[in-house]
């Protein structure tokens, strides 16, 4: 029903676009148009679709809760809790849909009938109202087309609002995500002191699990110390950057300054393919190929190496990040004006001197920005770490041992069945928000550095 209605509105909007354009051509024969004919079409189409779709959306949002209130009115005298009422409503809905399998009481049956009835009324009302709105707004718009009112401005304003709503949506979703993280994190910090979280050195949330009851507060104190996770996260990111920065930068320099047009044409897309490989693939590459390889080499040298070493995970993560750094630094170095290169070559500087003394310093802010973006990507990377670096949160600086990261722990905490309201589950949100703050800071710094670089040449 809803699908038909929306399709109908959209089809009608298309029709009115063509109709409006035709009408404009008719008007053109007798008087001067106020805008191009297509604007007459846009005007009619916008007036046709926008009001009807807005009302439709609002209706769809509010209808269920209104129907629910009507149904549950009959149960107000029974002194039921919120959860029990919810259960009853679910039963009623299931009964109405014919999927209910429990005992059917008279009362429930009555409610179900009432539900079906209400739904029917609501549906007919919706169709009637939307048709009325369509007729009203279309005739209003058609009248101003006939009067040959100004058409361009309303269409432009309408487009501005469409764009505004789209960006508003994006912003609201972001804010929503941040707040949902924040509220759960706050609940977590009610159970665990923020001091214990930030400075504690033991991460072992599983030991707080107690069947049917509140865990011992003494246990809580020592179970949620995030230091090993922060350390592990930055340690693995550090290993990744040790791989990615030299290779990425050098290949960026090669691509922008040394490679001929032919090589560049093929090499750049190939490097960028690295960025297109799903991280899961990197993950099992790290876990099944690089990890055992590192272990074997280590064993051959007489070292104790874990099969899930930080080194393997970090190295593979570094490979994943190479294209970010090489591609971005290639772009910023290519953007350095050619006349600076000419100036340097004309002084008798060689290619490497020009790169070292002119191109690289001029591009440095952009390169730093690209590296910071890459770091924030490394800090937030999950899949490789989950698969290749183990899940035990060891506080270690030995790249050959296994360690764990914030992201990996969030995965561990939230896969499978969880209990909401349990500090163990909520700790994931606390970890999430701390990760978010770190990457946000890195991104802000990176963007401001990049912006500073742009100002220099414009």
Q: Which is nearer to other proteins, 148 or 344 (CB)?
A: 344
Query: In this structure, are residues 321 and 374 in contact, taking their beta carbons and an 8 Å threshold?
Result: yes
Q: Which of 343, 437, 441, 448 lies at the binding interface for other proteins (CB under 8 A)?
A: 343
Binding status of residue 451 toward other proteins by CB under 8 A: no
For other proteins, which stretch binds (CB under 8 A), given 57-65, 107-115, 188-196, 343-351? 343-351
Secondary element (H or E) of residue 254: none
By CB under 8 A, the count of residues binding other proteins is: 21
Q: Which of 143, 353, 419, 454 lies at the binding interface for other proteins (CB under 8 A)?
A: 353
For other proteins, which stretch binds (CB under 8 A), given 63-71, 166-174, 237-245, 352-360? 352-360
Query: In this structure, are residues 126 and 59 in contact, taking their beta carbons and an 8 Å threshold?
Result: yes
Binding status of residue 349 toward other proteins by CB under 8 A: yes
For other proteins, which stretch binds (CB under 8 A), given 114-122, 164-172, 314-322, 347-355? 347-355
Q: Which of 341, 383, 431, 433 lies at the binding interface for other proteins (CB under 8 A)?
A: 341
User: At a CB cut-off of 8 Å and minimum separation 6, what does 14 contact?
Assistant: 45
Give the residue from 193, 219, 195 showing the smallest Cα distance to 206: 219
Give the residue from 209, 195, 202, 206 showing the smallest Cα distance to 224: 202
**Cα–Cα distance, 359 to 253 (Å, whole number):** 9
Q: Which is nearer to other proteins, 211 or 456 (CB)?
A: 456
Sort residue 148 into left (φ over 0), alpha (ψ -120 to 50) or beta.
left
For other proteins, which stretch binds (CB under 8 A), given 7-15, 84-92, 276-284, 355-363? 355-363
Where in 245-274 is the site for other proteins (CB under 8 A)? 260-261
Q: Which is nearer to other proteins, 329 or 427 (CB)?
A: 329
**Buried b or exposed e, range 113-132, using 16+ CB within 10 angstroms:** ebbeebeeebeeebeeebee
- Minimum distance between the CB of residue 256 and other proteins, rounded to whole angstroms? 14
Q: Which of 362, 372, 388, 393 lies at the binding interface for other proteins (CB under 8 A)?
A: 362
**Cα–Cα distance, 282 to 311 (Å, whole number):** 14
Cα-based distances in Å from 263 to 244, 247, 252, 268: 21, 17, 13, 8
Q: Which is nearer to other proteins, 256 or 344 (CB)?
A: 344
Binding site for other proteins (CB under 8 A): 260-261, 337, 339-350, 353, 357-358, 361-362, 456
């Amino acid at each position: 029903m809803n699908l038909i209605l929306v399709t109908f509105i959209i089809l009608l909007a298309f029709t009115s676009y063509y109709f409006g354009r035709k009408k404009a051509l008719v008007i053109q024969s007798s008087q001067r148009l106020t805008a191009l004919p297509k604007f007459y079409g846009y005007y009619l189409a916008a007036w046709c679709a926008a009001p009807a779709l807005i009302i439709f959306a609002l209706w769809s949002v509010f209808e269920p809760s209104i129907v629910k209130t009507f149904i549950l009115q009959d149960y107000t005298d029974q002194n039921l809790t919120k959860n029990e009422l919810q259960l009853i409503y679910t039963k009623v809905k299931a009964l109405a849909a014919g999927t209910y399998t429990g005992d059917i009481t008279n009362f429930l049956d009555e409610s179900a009938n009432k539900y079906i009835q209400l739904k029917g009324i609501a549906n007919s009302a919706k169709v009637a109202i939307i048709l009325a709105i369509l007729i009203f707004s279309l005739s209003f718009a058609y009248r101003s087309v006939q009067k040959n009112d100004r058409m361009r401005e309303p269409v432009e304003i309408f487009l501005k609002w469409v764009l505004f709503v789209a960006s508003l949506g994006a912003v609201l979703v972001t804010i929503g995500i941040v707040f949902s993280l924040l509220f759960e994190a706050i609940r977590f910090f009610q159970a665990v002191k923020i001091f214990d979280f930030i400075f504690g050195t033991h991460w072992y949330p599983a030991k707080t699990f107690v069947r049917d009851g509140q865990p011992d507060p003494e246990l809580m104190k020592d179970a949620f110390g995030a230091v090993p996770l922060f350390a592990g996260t930055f340690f693995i990111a550090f290993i990744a950057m040790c791989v990615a920065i030299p290779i990425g930068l050098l290949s960026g320099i090669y691509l922008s300054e040394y490679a001929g047009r032919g090589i560049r044409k093929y090499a750049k897309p190939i490097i960028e393919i690295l960025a297109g490989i799903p991280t899961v693939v990197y993950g099992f590459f790290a876990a099944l190929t690089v990890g055992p390889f590192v272990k074997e080499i280590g064993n051959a040298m007489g070292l104790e190496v874990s099969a899930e070493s930080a080194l393997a995970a970090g190295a593979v993560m570094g490979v994943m990040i190479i294209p970010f750094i090489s591609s971005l630094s290639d772009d910023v170095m290519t953007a350095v004006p050619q006349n600076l290169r000419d100036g340097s070559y004309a002084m008798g500087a060689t290619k490497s001197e020009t790169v070292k003394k002119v191109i690289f310093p001029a591009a440095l802010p952009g390169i730093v920005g690209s590296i910071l973006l890459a770091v924030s990507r490394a800090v937030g990377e999950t899949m490789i770490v989950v698969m290749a670096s183990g899940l035990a949160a060891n506080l270690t600086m030995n790249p050959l041992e296994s360690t764990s990261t914030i992201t990996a722990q969030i995965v561990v905490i939230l896969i499978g069945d969880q209990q909401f309201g349990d500090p163990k589950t909520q700790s994931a949100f606390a970890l999430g928000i701390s990760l978010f703050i770190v990457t946000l800071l890195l991104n802000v710094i990176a963007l401001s550095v990049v912006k500073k670089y742009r100002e220099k040449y414009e």
